[in-house]
Structure 1
Amino acid sequence: MQPRVFPAPKVPAVFVMFWVVKLLTTGIGETASDYLGSVSIPLAAVIGLGTFSTAIYLQLKADTYHPVRYWVTALGVALFGTMIADGPHIVLGIPYWFGSIVYVALLAGLLTWWQRSEGTISVHSITTARRERFYWGVVLLTFGLGTAVGDTTAFDFRLGFTWSIVLFGVLIMVPLGLWKLGLNVTIAFWASYVLTRPLGASIADWLGKPTHNGGLGWGLGPVTLVGLLIFAVLVGYLTMTHSDVDHAALHARESAVREPDPVFD
């Protein structure tokens, strides 16, 4: 069977707006999950799993990149990823630090499998259905890992939300600095991608959680709603401007397709 190949990468270009929207999805996923869980855990599970399943199905079914479809899927993954990290702790009492170790192992294993299977884990190479499945599997695990790590620093290590924000705000600059010094761009990307989760979640928790829990007390519901409104505006902007299309990867792919084969041409 011939592999399903896309005409262009099915992920957005990595630039400033990408990281802004990515951080926003992490925060919304955190507060929305906590808010729904405070209302009803079964309801939260149904909404989380339903949103994730529907969004990922529509994303994987499509052959082209579209900002609304992609970012709604990322939001669904953020919501579900929070739940699969928080669930074992809330239901079974498993420490967050233990969950962090489990997710590190799972993420390392999946990235290794992806690299050995496809020869690359670059986001610019998401041009086949198989690579896209690897991509979203890794994204889900990064959300689970980031949630567990953020809760580990805030609760297990007793840093609270404020110092967790400071910690992850500093750490997320490390891959950027190392990239400037020669670190492989793909490694730098995935390291930053993982760190956006605990940073965004810590900021959202700080804004929404009660003051006696170390937050500002704005409320999980209102913070989630405001986040969704900002999310809608930014994704709408990307949809209208097409500014997040990975033109470099698209042009490179088109050139490779047009270039004559020296053996068979």
Structure 2
Amino acid sequence: MTHTAPSAPSRAVPGRQLLNKVPEVTVWFWVIKILCTTVGESFADWIDMQLGVGLVNTAILFTVVFAVVLTVQMRLTRYVPFAYWLTVVVVSVTGTLYTDILTDRFAVPLWISTSVFSALLAGVFAVWYARERTLSIHSITSTPREAFYWLAVLVTFALGTATGDLSLQLTGWGPGVSVLLPLSLIAVVTGLWRYGANAVLAFWVAYILTRPLGANIGDWLATPKSEQGLGLGTFMTSVVFLIAILATVVYLSITRADVIEDEAEYDTATADVVATDPARERVSLGVMGVAALATVALLSWANAQPHVDPTAEEGPVPRCSGGAVTQAQATQQAKAAFPASEMDRFRTIASDTLGLVKADDQAAAADRATDLETAWDDDQATLQPTDCQAWTYLDEQIDPVLSAVRASSPDQTTEEAALTKLLDTLG
């Protein structure tokens, strides 16, 4: 949607006077925003899991990177596509990681994260409006306004992550189907904007919804084909979308298709291009409310249906009834419940990986670890229902092996310890 929000009331703007620091909101804005969101999901997962950096360390790394790129962005006096969209990419990763830490490390329920980030975003908007009397992104012409803008963007990414994961948790939908809900809601918001909804409200609602949309697209592309995805993997998905972002930014830099050329003319003329109709705004607000209630009803209905929580594997939430089991119990249960041929296959792959680690052939060990991951994921649908406790225990032994072997600076002692423990559990 092309944003045509009313300009701010005439008033003295404190702080450094700037040209507008954000792009015109055309279709290019939304395309590249979704691309950035997808990269935020897939690239963070790749660094965290594939490189073995870890969730907390990845969050610290990107917080530092975000501080650096944001400093560069805010020191500029006008909109520069490369600087602006690099900041969006980094903030998308950072906001995602903050929500993931709350969920995966501190076991904060997603409904609480969603509520907290919703309240925080409302607070940011309230303070922003009380100080500046506008929430339009076409009024980002001073340092304080830009600071409010980027704080709001950071919170929207964290909130979008929480709401997206919550919808998956409630529904159990696969990566492909999960794209449809945020896409449908964005279509509704776009239609209402064209009808006469408040432009600022429509913009920020759509901005939040693009986060779960982009993340679900990323998951769909990266998820193995055995789990209803397209099987590109997080690294390839990140590369493809980063190239797409780069190509789009180069195009925008050359054509200046998203640059507001005349700030004064825009403020005085564009504000009234679409005459606001209070009646249509009220109708649109009512339809948004109905859409929100319908979404809640849909999620409640889906939650009541039998389903597997696709987010449970990523956090410390127990996945099986009956409590935890010891290593000895898991070994005995796995031997009794799982096909001997599959147990032999897992043992062979793990043993091969250990041998390669001891031979200091790290590249081959990483490849063999991928074979283990693929074989384990392929058998999940049959093994997990057979004995959930044994499957969960083994799954928790495989994750450290993958992290250790794929680490950017592998430690042989850590690798051998993880593999030995897995082999002991496999019997």
Partner of 2:140: 126
Q: For this pair of structures, how many residues does the alignment match?
A: 254
Residue 57 of structure 1 deviates from its aligned partner by 0.9
Structure 2 distance, partners of 1:206, 1:34, is 13
Residue 213 of structure 1 deviates from its aligned partner by 4.5
1:6 maps to which of 17, 20, 23: 17
Residue 86 of structure 1 deviates from its aligned partner by 0.8
Structure 2 distance, partners of 1:215, 1:86, is 21
Residue 15 of structure 1 deviates from its aligned partner by 0.2
Partner of 1:33: 44
Asked if structure 2 preserves the Cα contact closer than 8 Å seen for 1:26 and 1:201, the reply is yes
Partner of 2:90: 76
Structure 1 distance, partners of 2:16, 2:120, is 27
In structure 2, the gaps of 5 or more residues are 1-12, 270-427
Matching residue's letter, 1:16: V
Structure 2 distance, partners of 1:209, 1:200, is 14
Partner of 2:245: 231
Identical aligned residues as a percent: 38
Partner of 2:191: 177
Matching residue's letter, 2:31: V
- Aligned-residue Cα RMSD (Å) equals 1.8
> Is the alpha carbon distance of 1:37 and 1:79 closer, same or farther for their aligned partners in structure 2, counting shifts above 3 Å?
same
Partner of 1:200: 214
Residue 45 of structure 1 deviates from its aligned partner by 2.5
In structure 1, the gaps of 5 or more residues are 256-265
Structure 1 distance, partners of 2:268, 2:183, is 38
1:167 aligns with 2:178: no
Structure 1 distance, partners of 2:156, 2:263, is 24
> Is the alpha carbon distance of 1:76 and 1:202 closer, same or farther for their aligned partners in structure 2, counting shifts above 3 Å?
same
Structure 2 distance, partners of 1:98, 1:248, is 44
Structure 2 distance, partners of 1:212, 1:103, is 34
Asked if structure 2 preserves the Cα contact closer than 8 Å seen for 1:143 and 1:194, the reply is yes
| 1:106-158 Cα distance to aligned partner (Å, 9 max, x none) | 11111111111110000110001000000000000110011111111123431
Structure 1 distance, partners of 2:267, 2:201, is 22
Partner of 2:277: none
1:191 aligns with 2:202: no
Query: Larger Rg: 1 or 2?
Result: 2
TM-score relative to the length of structure 1: 0.90
More contact order relative to length (CA 8 Å, sep ≥ 6): 1
